[in-house]
Structure 1
Amino acid sequence: MAHKTAGQVMTELLEQWGVDHVYGIPGDSINEFIEELRHERNQLKFIQTRHEEVAALAAAAEAKLTGKIGVCLSIAGPGAVHLLNGLYDAKADGAPVLAIAGQVSSGEVGRDYFQEIKLEQMFEDVAVFNREVHSAESLPDLLNQAIRTAYSKKGVAVLSVSDDLFAEKIKREPVYTSPVYIEGNLEPKKEQLVTCAQYINNAKKPIILAGQGMKKAKRELLEFADKAAAPIVVTLPAKGVVPDKHPHFLGNLGQIGTKPAYEAMEECDLLIMLGTSFPYRDYLPDDTPAIQLDSDPAKIGKRYPVTAGLVCDSALGLRELTEYIERKEDRRFLNACTEHMQHWWNEIEKDETEATTPLKPQQVVARLQEAAADDAVLSVDVGTVTVWMARHFKMNANQDFIVSSWLATMGCGLPGALAASL
């Protein structure tokens, strides 16, 4: 029986993990793996970018949009350095990404060879899994471990591999691990549900701050908000979780936010944080009681002194919490917020419709909204364009929105569009 090369085994494992394509740039210290990608026996598609930063940002964008791992590659030295900005974006936004960094020939490592840098040391801060591969035999197991860790810790995994190892035959059978990651549902605890429900039932002016953790719980969010009579403010990466023209929607919060959202935060008597770790403390109430739902216990109370917490899967937890609360009959606060938001729309739509010379960005965004498909993915770059899109593009329930939210790196728009189109 003929033995397979490490590169062949690696491509087969990536396919088993559900990877469809890999972003990157070929070159001397990754070419053995590139040659394997070119082979007709594998189904992986190689997407050649013009800069490694684009490859990493596209991989991060794909992971944010789909929840599946995004994969990028580079040569050693300068190529690997160029990956870092996109990998830090993935780290900051909790996106599972695998970076395969080529390294100089294994016989030259440590000898200050052309383009050699200490890759493992360089990637240490950005990665949740970071290993230099020392043998062809260890590559399959390390690949499985890398992807599993990226999924479980929602971050970046890096494998640094000397290019000659990809061409080596693997003689050991079988591999010790499997390409499987099993994700369980985090069920909320009853005592947490009871405590949170009491705060909601007693509140006269509750307000929801929803983050990207609600992207898989859109229907549950709206059902909960309706029963609690709570208006919804969203963080930037959560734009699209609620249709912009929904009566509960108050827009974004912060520098790119709306006046109704800011005023509602000032007036509320209960802050309900759902799937968010909102960083801008100045835009949150000073000393209002708060409850927080998140799948990560470390996020509860991380940025705001919450009174009660709920650690659970977003959709499952919100569905349960909705069962525990009473339907709020007093809807005056919600109705007032809805009315304020309608006034806001009326004011900003004046900027979208008036004819001016020169043309204003608000007018462009309004025309873009008319042209965008019902299920369009909006890949938005960082800068003033973020403000125009957050405020003026009114998303529907089928559209999606992607941006570099936490790192806020400029140049993320095109890579995100590449990932979205694929």
Structure 2
Amino acid sequence: MPLTADFILERLRAWGIHRIYGYPGDGINAFLGALDRADGDPEIIQPRHEEMGAFMATAHAKFTGGIGCCMATSGGGTIHLLNGLYDAKLDHQPVVAIIGQQKRIALGSGYQQEIDPNSLYKDVSADFLQTCMHPAQARQLVDRACKVALNNRTVATIIVPEDVAEEEAQPSPPRQHGAVYTSVGWTKPRVIPPETEIRVAADILNQGQKVAMLVGQGASDSADEVVEAAELLGAGIAKTSLGRAVLPDDLPYSTGPIGLLGSTASYEMMRDADTLFMIGTSFPYAEWLPQEGQCKGVEIDLDGKMIGVRYPMDSHLVGDAKSTLKELIPLLRRKEDRSWRKKIEGEVAEWWRVLDDRAHDKADPLNPELVVHELSERLPDDTIVTTDAGTAANWWARHLRLREGMMASLAGNLATMGPGTPYAISARFSYPDRPVIALIGDGVFQMNGMAELITVKRYRDRIGDAPLVFCVFNNQDLNQVTWEQRAMAGDPKFEGTQRIPDVPYAEFAKLLGFTGVRCDSPKRIGAAWDEVLSAGGPAVLEVVVDPEIPPVPPHFMKMQAKKAAQALRKGDPEAVGIAVKGTKQKGHEFTESIRRHLLPGGVR
């Protein structure tokens, strides 16, 4: 007879979950046997660490739109999932976690590996956190966990004590008072605001002369509608990091990223706008949005709790982006004055020229911006690009020109170290024929990325021969934090916390049987990319880059400039290089601005 563990896997399969990322332990022994009997559906993918499994489940949800699923044993395994699950919660992704627990008879005794997951998970899985106390309860717990995860776009957790998992399954509860009978199934709702509010929004947008749009991942299924609205309004469109792939970067009025990782085009658009139109984003940094009172505001967000909490809005459209835009667009009037749009397109073109100039600045030994610049020119169709916390995220956000059909993501709201490599691995499991590229710093690669290459080796026969490239930026520095020390704390780089060991990453890849390429020359970086992209399977490109190339923000806030200068005066070990290279980087913006405004037709 099937056990409760078998039934839970069967029910997950009925919900379309065919892959579980998990690591074994005796607290889930019953599930290990059930997975064996499941004959690969659902299959179990074994990462090197439970945290990586949770990141992989989050990436599955991000890249497929389905439910991600991870599993861990009781005690330490349950604890290890937390960081990856917080990534799912903060980026609003549906993930179901199955975690083990000691036998019911032992609970409360201080038994080995006995922790209180209800207390531990009460934040990360606040919307659904339940313990399966009886085999007949499993059906409704799985059904409700999946419904809550999808409906609330969050983490749902089922705690399964060992003895319950080992009991005979009861697919249908006894017909008695207290029994619950649930079904598999959920339909994504079409949520539309009241017509009166849509008309208010249309009036505001029609009256605006300088409309700035900001889109996030909530607009990911609404690209056509976003473009149509922007065309009617003569607007420019900035994208958050999570909204990186909502629109292709070849749109001449897409100003690209916003914020510290942003573009000068996005900064100038927000500075000069008179109307702000936010769609599917909770971008939190007020200093990069228009000043309060500068703009009239319209916002579309499916989550009514989060609407109007980033900028004071005049119209609050609680609804899904696609359906709401479809109702709004017929009410929008095409703006005949296209001077605002023309200005934005000029600033966008100028920004791309600035990036080109910056990428070709001399560095010691290799400019990290050139690394991504050269990749951008070589991106295969349908590529999925991941990145991680660190300065690599700056170059990922700015220099990649994503085309239609490409995907990209990172840990947006949690901004944690760790997900770049497991995201890439998960993406490859979901799309075995698509090129996948991860841009990651050496700090995070040492933290967990190198170990997850062993996961790639474990499943080499599943990986296929499409490009799977892990580009590691080797600068022997926890570079993003180093720059934050300077610009936010006014302190010089402290070698004791910031310096990390030099590791031969390309050689490590070769030990595992992969292609490994090391590049420290600007003359060779294009050829290095060609080599790893044509390698036929997993490859590591180790690029030895200059830690003194600053992730220059599109605008220096007064306090940041003051703090950075203070840090250099205190004797920063890289002060001279930073001053020279940083000045040159900002100088490109000035040069391009002069060319655009003073030369005939803005010609270079």
Shift of 1:357: 4.3
Query: Structure 2 counterpart of 1:163, which letter?
Result: E
Q: Give the structure 1 partner of residue 132 of structure 2.
A: 133
Moved more, 307-316 or 402-411: 307-316
**Structure 2: distance between partners of 1:416 and 1:397:** 20
1:355: Cα distance to partner? 6.3
Residue deviations 1:225-282 (CA, integer Å, cap 9, x gap): 0011000011111012121121110111110011111111111000001111110011
Report the equivalent of 2:281: 276
Structure 1: distance between partners of 2:363 and 2:369: 11
CA distance in 2, matches of 1:131, 1:340: 52
Q: Tell me the equivalent position of 2:206.
A: 201
**Counterpart residue type for residue 346 of structure 1:** R
State the AA in 1 paired with 2:149. Answer: A
Counterparts of 1:397 and 1:186 in 2: how far apart (Å)? 26
Do structure 1's residue 222 and structure 2's residue 246 form an aligned pair? no
- Residue 420 of structure 1: CA displacement? 0.7
Aligned to 2:78: 80
Q: 2:348 matched to which residue of 1?
A: 341
In 1, Cα distance between equivalents of 2:170 and 2:122? 31
Give the CA RMSD over aligned residues: 1.4
CA distance in 2, matches of 1:178, 1:147: 11
For residues 40 and 91 of structure 1, what CA distance do their matches in structure 2 show?
29
Give the match for residue 239 of structure 2: 234
Match of 1:179 in 2: 184
Distance across 2 between alignment mates of 1:275 and 1:50: 34
Which of 348, 359, 380 matches 1:352?
359
C-alpha contact 1:94 1:154 (8 A) present in aligned 2: yes
For 2:248 and 2:343, the matched residues in 1 are separated by: 19
Which of 285, 291, 299 is residue 292 of structure 1 equivalent to?
Answer: 299
> Of 267, 274, 287, which residue of structure 2 is paired with 1:262?
267
Counterpart residue number, 2:592: none
Partner of 1:390: 397
Of 365, 377, 385 in structure 2, the residue corresponding to residue 378 of structure 1 is 385
Q: Deviations over 1:192-239 (max 9, x none)?
A: 111111111111101101111110001111111001100001111101
1:247–1:338 CA contact under 8 A, matched in 2 = yes
Determine helix, strand or coil for the equivalent of 2:81: helix
Displacement after TM superposition at 1:172 (Å): 6.2
Residue deviations 1:277-311, cap 9 Å, x none?
11001111111211101112222212211011212
The CA distance in 2 between the partners of 1:272 and 1:173, in whole Å, is 50
The residue identity in structure 2 corresponding to 1:92 is L
- Aligned 8 A contact 2:58 2:85 in 1: yes
CA distance in 2, matches of 1:51, 1:4: 29
Which deviates more, 375-384 or 171-180? 171-180
State the secondary structure of the residue aligned to 2:140: helix
Q: Which amino acid aligns with 2:394?
A: V
> Alpha-carbon deviation of 1:353?
4.2
Corresponding letter in the other structure for 1:143: V
Shift of 1:354: 5.5
Instruction: Return closer, same or farther for 1:172/1:252 CA change in 2, 3 Å cut-off.
Output: closer
Correspondence for 2:217: 212
Which amino acid letter does the alignment assign opposite residue 387 of structure 2? V
Deviation at 1:85, TM superposition (A): 0.4
* Bigger relative contact order (CA 8 A; separation at least 6): 1
Equivalent residue letter for 2:36: R
- Note the C-alpha offset of 1:370: 3.5
In 2, Cα distance between equivalents of 1:404 and 1:395: 18
Query: For 2:342 and 2:312, how far apart are their aligned partners in 1?
Result: 28
Q: Aligned letter for 2:386? A: S
Q: Distance in 2 between matches of 1:230 and 1:191?
A: 23
**Separation in 1, partners of 2:422, 2:171:** 39
Q: Could you tell me which residue of structure 1 aligns to residue 160 of structure 2?
A: 161
Q: Report what 1:110 is aligned to.
A: 108
Q: Is the 8 A contact 1:188 1:311 kept in 2?
A: yes
TM-score, reference length from structure 2:
0.68
- Separation (CA, whole Å) in 1 of partners of 2:224 and 2:163: 51
Q: Secondary structure at the match of 2:249?
A: coil
How big is the shift at 1:183?
A: 2.2
Q: Which has the larger radius of gyration?
A: 2
1:151 aligns with 2:146: no
SS across alignment from 2:44: strand
**Is contact 1:12–1:42 with CA below 8 Å preserved after alignment?**
no
Q: Is the 8 A contact 2:4 2:170 kept in 1?
A: no
Partners of 1:336 and 1:370 in 2: CA distance = 26
Instruction: Look up the equivalent residue of 1:240 and give its one-letter code.
Output: A
Residue identity over aligned pairs, in percent, reads 35
Residues 258 and 41 of structure 1, relative CA distance in 2, 3 Å threshold: closer
Stretch moving more, 70-79 or 311-320: 311-320
Shift of 1:43: 1.5
Deviations 1:133-165 (A, max 9, x none): 212221121111111111111111111111232
Q: Secondary structure at the match of 2:27?
A: coil
Q: 1:63: which partner in 2?
A: 61
Deviation at 1:71, TM superposition (A): 0.4
Distance 1:336 1:177, change over 3 A: same
* Separation (CA, whole Å) in 2 of partners of 1:103 and 1:393: 45
Separation of aligned partners in 2, 1:216 and 1:102: 36
CA contact (8 A) 2:27 2:100 kept: yes
SS in 2 for 1:207: strand
TM-score (norm 1): 0.96
How far 1:368 moved relative to its partner?
A: 2.2
Q: For residues 284 and 311 of structure 2, what CA distance do their matches in structure 1 show?
A: 9
Structure 2 unmatched runs, 5+: 174-179, 430-604
The one-letter code of the counterpart of 1:390 is A
Which whole-Å deviations, capped at 9, do the CAs of 1:112-151 have from their partners, x for residues lacking one? 1111100111100111200122122211211111111111
Supply the distance in 1 between the matched residues of 2:52 and 2:102 (Cα, whole angstroms). Answer: 23
Do 2:66 and 2:94's aligned partners in 1 also have CA atoms closer than 8 Å?
A: yes
1:355-370 equivalent positions in 2, closer than 5 A: 356-370=363-377
The residue number in structure 1 matching 2:193 is 188
Q: Secondary structure at the match of 1:241?
A: coil
Out of 303-312 and 403-412, give the one that drifted further: 303-312
Q: Deviations over 1:2-45 (max 9, x none)?
A: x5311111111111100110001001101210111111556111
Separation in 1, partners of 2:171, 2:413: 43
CA contact (8 A) 2:54 2:84 kept: yes
Structure 1, unmatched stretches of 5+, are none
Are the aligned partners of 1:89 and 1:406 in contact in 2 as well (CA < 8 Å)? yes
